């Protein structure tokens, strides 16, 4: 069974959004270098110095500046899969669409976005390194 790995929230103002989530929920934020976009990691639970979870039961996420050219316009979740190519083929067979083909994110993983049969956008993630 594939599990939800993280969430993503597009925002209009990164500074304002960081302040909101830090103040409203006590979440931690951390800027991540990403090609072509500003991406902020969001930590919703305790992690160690290597950013490894210290307790079960929460997921982390990220936020980035909303861009009309980018397929993600509202909050979404990302599902971790064993093999992204197989997962994307299964999405198509199941009636969904791939709206952003797989892209490698540094040496961390492969990522794509799909639309389900109901029009929702979902991320699909394959780890390249063991977690």
pLDDT tens digit string along 14-36?
999 999 999 988 999 999 877 78
For 37, phi and psi rounded to 5 degrees? -155, 155
pLDDT over threshold 70, residue 131? no
What value does the mean pLDDT take over residues 105-122? 92
Mean of pLDDT values over 89-98? 96
Per-residue pLDDT, 34:
78
User: Where do the domains of the chain lie, and which CATH numbers do they carry?
Assistant: 3-127 (3.10.180.10)
Residues 43-91: pLDDT tens digits? 998 888 877 778 888 888 999 999 888 777 889 999 999 999 999 999 9
Cα–Cα nearest to 125, from 81, 87, 85 = 81
- Joined together, the tokens standing for residue 57 give 């039961």
Instruction: Dump the DSSP string for 2-60.
Output: -EEEEEEEEES-HHHHHHHHHHHH--EEEEEEETTEEEEEEE-S-B-TT--BSSSS--E
CA 43 – CA 34 distance, rounded (Å): 17
Q: What is the pLDDT of residue 110?
A: 96
The tokens 């791939």 sit on which residue?
A: 98
The C-alpha atoms of residue 55 and residue 125 are separated, in whole angstroms, by: 22
pLDDT at 102 over 70: yes
Task: Give the chain's mean pLDDT.
Answer: 90
Q: Which two tokens stand for residue 67?
A: 């861009």
Other C-beta atoms within 10 Å of 109: how many?
19
Residue with tokens 């939800």: 4
Report pTM. Answer: 0.79
User: What was the pLDDT predicted at 5?
Assistant: 86
């Amino acid at each position: 069974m594939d599990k939800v790995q993280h969430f993503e929230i597009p925002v209009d103002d990164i500074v304002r959004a960081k302040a909101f989530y830090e103040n409203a929920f006590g979440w931690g934020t951390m800027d991540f270098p990403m090609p072509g976009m500003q991406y902020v990691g969001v930590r919703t639970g305790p992690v160690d110095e290597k950013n490894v979870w210290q307790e079960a039961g929460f997921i982390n996420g990220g936020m980035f500046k909303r861009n009309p050219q980018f397929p993600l316009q509202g909050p979404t979740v990302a599902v971790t899969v064993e093999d992204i190519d197989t997962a994307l083929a299964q999405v198509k067979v199941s009636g969904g669409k791939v709206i952003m083909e797989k892209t490698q994110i540094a040496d961390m993983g492969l990522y794509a976005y799909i639309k389900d049969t109901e029009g929702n956008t979902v991320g699909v993630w394959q780890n390249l390194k063991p977690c």
